[in-house]
């Protein structure tokens, strides 16, 4: 695969955008029950913790190793973040601290990505019989994180809309 500088520039913009998303969440997150879970699902705080965990303990590690190594990286040598994730109860209670941590880690991964030369984006990463480039791997990370942040934004919007509906119902029916 021939990777162009415009693709890398776009990838860098996407990674920077994800950092801005985490920043923007700081202003709305306190208005929602971010620590509530529904059966079989993670709370908003847990989703954010997992996002940071996966980035720090999987994606960043693979990107760094692929960048440093001349040989193809095999993803089977890395543990899936789902298997190593543990909820940090203290951090779950301090959502602003968690969002700050995510932003800080995002800046670090952004700087790492900016320092990768164009030719190095073609480095190979394998998993089983499938081979992808470092660029494709990083792009997959961005797509997964975007989907996760969209899920969080949808949950925030749902909570805000239900609160608004509750207020409207209460204003129409003052005796209840």
pLDDT (tens digit, 9 = 90+) per residue, 85-105?
Answer: 999 989 888 889 999 898 889
CA distance 130 to 9: 26
Please determine, for residue 8, whether its predicted confidence score (pLDDT) is greater than 90.
Answer: yes
Is 1 strand, coil or helix? Answer: coil
CA distance 20 to 14: 10
Q: pLDDT above 70 covers what percent of the chain?
A: 98
In order of their start, the domains of the chain are: 5-169 (1.20.120.450)
CA distance 93 to 13: 31
Please determine, for residue 176, whether its predicted confidence score (pLDDT) is greater than 80.
Answer: no
Please determine, for residue 175, whether its predicted confidence score (pLDDT) is greater than 70.
Answer: no
The CA–CA distances, whole Å, from 167 to 12, 31, 53, 170 equal: 42, 14, 37, 5
pLDDT (tens digit, 9 = 90+) per residue, 15-42?
Answer: 888 778 877 888 878 778 888 877 778 8
pLDDT band at residue 117 using 50, 70 and 90 as cut-offs: very high
pLDDT band at residue 1 using 50, 70 and 90 as cut-offs: low
């Amino acid at each position: 695969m021939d990777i162009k500088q415009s693709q890398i520039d776009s990838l860098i913009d996407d990674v920077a955008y994800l950092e801005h998303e985490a920043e923007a969440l700081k202003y709305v997150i306190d208005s929602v029950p971010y620590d509530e879970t529904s059966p079989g699902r993670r709370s908003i705080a847990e989703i954010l913790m997992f996002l940071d965990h996966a980035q720090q303990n999987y994606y960043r590690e693979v990107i760094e190793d692929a960048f440093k190594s001349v040989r193809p990286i095999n993803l089977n040598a890395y543990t899936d973040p789902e298997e190593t994730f543990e909820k940090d109860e203290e951090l779950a209670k301090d959502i602003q601290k968690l969002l700050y941590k995510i932003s800080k880690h995002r800046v670090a991964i952004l700087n790492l990505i900016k320092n990768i030369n164009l030719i190095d984006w073609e480095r190979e990463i394998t998993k089983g019989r499938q081979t992808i480039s470092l660029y494709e791997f990083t792009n997959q990370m961005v797509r997964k994180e975007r989907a996760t942040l969209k899920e969080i934004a949808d949950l925030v919007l749902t909570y805000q809309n239900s609160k608004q509906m509750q207020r409207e119902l209460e204003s129409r029916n003052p005796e209840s």
